[in-house]
Amino acid sequence: MGLPRIAVLTGAGVSAASGIPTFRDAAGGLWRQHRAEDLATPQAFARAPKLVWEFYDHRRQRIAGCRPNPAHAILAEMDTRLPDFTLVTQNIDGLHLQAGSRRVLHLHGNIWQIKCVFCDYRQENRQVPLSPLPPRCPECGDLLRPDVVWFGETLPWAELQQAARAFERADLALVVGTSAVVYPAAELPFYTRHRGGEILEFNTEATPLSPHATSWFGPSAETLPRWWAQFCAEQGLARG
């Protein structure tokens, strides 16, 4: 019998040990007398692109000095060791990629990617601080924006469909650092459960998902490595 098929959903909690601020804590609640939520909409960008970019440049600068923690490292190891593995993240910080994960679906985008509002131009950009603001597309001259999903925008359809298929076929659904209450992402673990699979939750406290899951409470940077060591021992999976 082969190794279990595993699908993972991560949220802000997986990056907590790396010092990544949550979206609403990104600038201590209020940023220049604006609610963070009011700066993350297409309407805000159309109205004041420089202000929105200043907010996101501020976030990029705070994230730039952060490094992957043991939870990211374990997920990257799982990516390497497991033949059927998919990592779905709601985070935009890019730390999963930095840790070495390759099979990653970004439901909310990546703050280190920028894209044109008009043409198909899209590129990774890690310049910190970013200058000039707002940046312009080198191909058509229109505005560039962060390649993230803003309030009022739909999740990327292709990534969402791939995520759904991964959880539908998974034997184990791991939910790491997210309360799993925001749909449609919150529905993903139940695709695994409906086909007879198991949900494992790694969170600091109980969530609405807890009654449906086997829960490992505590920082995921501590609990996920413990679970992985146990899993490898049970599966006879040698660790290098």
Q: Which residues are catalytic?
A: 108
In degrees rounded to 5, what are phi and psi of residue 51? Answer: -65, -45
53: exposed, middle or buried (Cβ count in 10 Å: 0-12, 13-18, 19+): buried
Residue pair 223/216 in contact (Cβ under 8 Å)? The answer is: yes
Cα–Cα distance between 156 and 197 in angstroms, integer? 26
35 token code pair: 């609610």
Question: 10 Å Cβ neighbour count for 12?
Answer: 20
Cα–Cα distance between 4 and 84 in angstroms, integer? 8
81: exposed, middle or buried (Cβ count in 10 Å: 0-12, 13-18, 19+): middle
- In DSSP notation, 108-162 reads SEEEEEEEESSSS-EEE---SS--SSS-B-TTT--BEEEEEPPTTPPPPHHHHHH
Cα–Cα distance between 221 and 204 in angstroms, integer? 11
Cα–Cα distance between 12 and 90 in angstroms, integer? 7
Handedness of CA 78, 84, 90, 93 (dihedral sign): positive
